[in-house]
A and B are shown apart, each in its own frame.
Chain A
């Protein structure tokens, strides 16, 4: 028993059960109660009843997250916070959730860290191969469809909310939203992750079409900052990137430089 328990903890942090996830924007919370009694055997050994193993070891690594992507004429601006949690412990406070899929295509990851990394790796491979076959840079729409294909096919096993954003020659800057469940839709602006719930009002009232690149950067920084202030699973620094025909420009806004909104 003891040996098995130690072996498991040495392997990974990720628990394979639903009931211990921190509060994220999962749409199937009804499952959580029912799943409590269905925990895999080894996870039961790691439950809180076992004093030798702390609580957080049984909890999935999650990019709690706030992510956002905005289109502008000639490109897109994407942004994310930098907090990865296992339960209440912040496993990584400087995470990079803006993952390059191709030269001018990025994705913003939210949900399970492992799931989103795995999917992103798969799509990067598929898109790279496809681009070589075509002998031209791939379309953002293609990348989004590849994400959708994986997220939909394995929807029961995965927990991944992804924003695909980039620039291509055909349609310019594009943002595609691939939330949990695996649907795909193009939107001029999109937010995701657990922290996004707190900024829907801000977005509805502050976003308008035809913004310039700098306005998009300011809007993204402001929105992320507000979400990070309120959502426990989001925080750290703001990572921004703007993608256009000319290339990708990345920026980091450190904690002390975040836009401030509270007066007290």
Chain B
């Protein structure tokens, strides 16, 4: 659920079983951390016989990232990491790890260049009362809102979700939902432009 930019920022990929992962920052660091997350999830599954709870995976990734802040021989990871999952016992879960090694659970979070602006927008949403489809539209709208036409290069929107709607699997948002979300986002941007003009 993040913007994609040819040079830097995000990609999203599967860890193991039902969780999604989005990253922002130096892509090489992000890939290496993804691999760490995959190995943690895999070894947990191998040792304990069931899928790793997301909080625990997030703690493990965070501990790993934190370790790189302890020694002068290595530099900290240059990326933030969002992990999300859905299962019928724990429901939907969202965790984020930042380069300092802190990990928190969230109802909504943002990472990357425009994270502060996006955070403000997210705080306006009432996520607990919204369905997955509604949230997808809002997320697309936020991505479009925070994109600075002047300073930023063109971007490509990538949307993926995991939830009851996908039976717990991490999937790219289907084409029709995606198009609906993009249209909603572009329309609401135009509305805001129009309302600005009216005030003149």
Contact = CB atoms under 8 A, between A and B. Distances in A.
Interface of A: 130, 133-136, 139, 141-142, 144-146, 148-149, 169-170
Interface string B64-101: 00000000000000000000000001000000000000
Contact of A130 (B48, B55, B59, B89): B48
Nearest to B88: A170
Interface of B: 47-50, 53, 55-56, 59, 89
- Interface SS of B by simple majority: helix
Contacts of B59: 133
Give the dominant DSSP class at A's interface.
Answer: helix
A201 B48 CA distance: 34
A141 B49 contact: yes
A83 B50 CA distance: 35
8 tightest A-B CB contacts, nearest first: A145-B49, A142-B48, A170-B89, A134-B56, A141-B49, A145-B48, A141-B50, A142-B49
A133 B53 CA distance: 11
B41 to A, nearest CB: 14
21 contacts: A130-B48, A133-B56, A133-B59, A134-B55, A134-B56, A135-B55, A136-B53, A139-B50, A141-B49, A141-B50, A142-B48, A142-B49, A142-B50, A144-B49, A145-B47, A145-B49, A145-B50, A146-B48, A149-B47, A169-B89, A170-B89
Contacts of A170: 89
A170 B48 CA distance: 15
A149 B43 CA distance: 13
A141 B55 CA distance: 19
Contacts of A142: 48-50
Contacts of B53: 134, 136
Given A142-B50, A145-B47, A148-B49, 17 more contacts: A130-B48, A133-B56, A133-B59, A134-B53, A134-B55, A135-B55, A136-B53, A141-B49, A141-B50, A142-B48, A142-B49, A145-B48, A145-B50, A146-B47, A146-B48, A169-B89, A170-B89
Contacts of B89: 169-170
Contacts of A146: 47-48
B189 to A, nearest CB: 43
B93 to A, nearest CB: 13
B163 to A, nearest CB: 19
Nearest to A144: B49
A139 B89 CA distance: 13
Nearest to B59: A133
Contacts of B55: 134-135
B131 to A, nearest CB: 25
A35 B56 CA distance: 48
A82 to B, nearest CB: 31
